[in-house]
Chains A and B, each alone.
Chain A
Amino acid sequence: MQAIAQPSTQRESGLDQADLRQYLSFALGKEAYAIDILKVQEIRGYEAVTPIANTPAYIKGVTNLRGNIVPIVDLRLKFNVGEASYNEFTVVIILSLGVRVVGIVVDSVSDVIMLRDQEVRPAPQFSAVFDTRYVSGLATVGEQMLIVVDIDQLIRSSDLMLFDDTRELV
């Protein structure tokens, strides 16, 4: 539950309860996910990605984000959910994780929601898509179940091979 244990630095004024936290929810295929909004730098359309040879298909390539070279990962491809189509509705969430900036492709961004820490319940030891290591818990908003993802852990995991994993060319 790392994401939840982390102290939050920004809070909506007027909502002074210490355990209230903002999340960004988005869709991958039919499932709804939520990530700590403090990790989100910005949301952009999907455009001008330069592919990189000999990398897994879910690494779409790199793009120019105001002069920085930022890798773009398609989580739909990585987790085999939904259809990896790219059109004007395709959304890239730019994440700021410590010193790294990474973009993730999702089907759509839904909403910014507020959750209390106790509303995020531990996930059962099974998960259709994500390894439970990256799942902070489950939450219900209205009728919908949200999978709260520890996006930091997920992006940094060796599973994704995003950082410092040099593979030989030939």
Chain B
Amino acid sequence: MTMKTILTVEDSNSMRQMIGYILRSAGYNVVEAEDGSKGLAQAQSGKFDLVVTDQNMPNMDGLSLIKALRQMPDYKSTPVIMLTTEASDTMKQRGREAGATGWMVKPFDPNRLLEICQKLLG
């Protein structure tokens, strides 16, 4: 069985490392990017089974990243989880329209993130 590879996009060092740690602990291969544009570059140079992205980031925010990903044939249906501190309906609606598969409010329980990722990875 091949190892599933997850792309995590998060500008905060500590959050990114923590998310990476959680997902690696569960046996996933994790590639990290520090903002939306770097995440997009990573996505262009590799194939990922799941993308976890923060919303509020410099250079390119999460929504823009998701929209850009959905333009790419390889990422038409790749599950993307959007992390956001704002759980408003507006934000959810924007996530939905951008093409996010799911959302999660920060701060979150690491186990919850893992559950959601595992579910989306089938």
A–B contact, 8 Å CB criterion (strictly below): no
Instruction: Please give the residue numbers on chain A whose beta carbons come within 8 Å of chain B beta carbons, in ascending order.
Output: none
